[in-house]
Amino acid sequence: MGKLKFIKKKHSGRDVSGSVVVRHQGGEHKRFMRVIDFKRDKMDLAGKVISIEYDPNRSCEIALVQYADGERRYILRPLELKINDLVKSGMNVEIKPGNAAPILSLPVGTVVHNVELTPRHGGRIARGAGTHAIIQAREDNLVHLKLPSGEVRKVRGECFATVGVLSNVEWKNEFFGKAGRKRNMGIRPTVRGVAQNPRSHPHGGGEGRSGIGMTTPKTYAGRPAVGRTRNKKKYSNKLIIQRRKK
């Protein structure tokens, strides 16, 4: 895979002209991007976990794996994966944390993460700390997958997934402590819409403390912010069996 680290370039939410196009970004600490192996395409070759590391670019921990041919790759670390454990990708692998296989070959009830939506395009689903998806049923070449949001959707059976729950489960309970730590992470202050003036936000204006003054809350650009905002013509609607919880 070549170099496993490179310096992350800062954009601070601005486009080529220097205009702010994404609010609340800017000023983060210098950091390295780690190249993560989301595809897990090193087939039928065992790899040994040689270190477990912190990655500032994601919420879960990462593991450095050295394969039998000497190549090293970073993978997302499942909860039970430890140093000196062996991991493997393939069509018929042992069902244990860190191993990757097509979801059609995994038994119903298996807990997985880093699930592909398009075969061999790399994992897209369940990549955050403490998240996982559950294989619920099989239907021809499709698998029913319960996602972390509670949504149940169909995924093609040849898509790869990695067994296990992702590490750093307590991340969601972390207390940041001070504003300066958020600034080091590249997050600038966020002002509530109701505290702004009418030209800056649809919720703005009014005398003293006032509510949003409208039945449907809006984003700063005027689009609906709550309720069912999903596109009714989205291509993947036919694959969704049960929508996520409100």
**What is the structure's pLDDT at 228?**
83
181 sits in which H/E element:
helix 179-184
Place of tokens 């680290």: 5
Q: Give the pLDDT of the chain (246 residues) as one tens digit per residue.
A: 679 999 999 999 999 999 999 999 999 999 999 999 999 999 999 999 999 999 999 999 999 999 999 999 999 999 999 999 999 999 989 999 999 999 999 999 999 999 999 999 999 999 999 999 999 999 989 999 999 999 999 999 999 999 999 999 999 999 999 999 999 999 999 999 999 999 999 999 999 999 998 889 999 999 999 888 889 999 999 999 999 876
CA distances from 129 to 114, 166, 169, 237 (A): 11, 6, 6, 27
Second-level CATH architecture of 5-171 = Roll (2.30)
**What is the structure's pLDDT at 141?**
92
Task: Kindly list the domain boundaries of the chain, sorted by start residue.
Answer: 5-171, 191-246
Q: Which residues contact 31 (CB under 8 A, 6 or more apart)?
A: 7, 8, 56, 57
**What is the structure's pLDDT at 246?**
67
**What is the structure's pLDDT at 227?**
84
Which of 32, 28, 29, 26 has the alpha carbon at shortest distance from 3? 32
pTM of the model: 0.89
The CATH classification number of 191-246 equals: 4.10.950.10
d(CA 17, CA 26): 16
**What is the structure's pLDDT at 1?**
66
Q: Looking at residue 52, what DSSP letter applies?
A: E
CA distances from 208 to 13, 83, 197, 203, 236 (A): 32, 58, 12, 13, 45
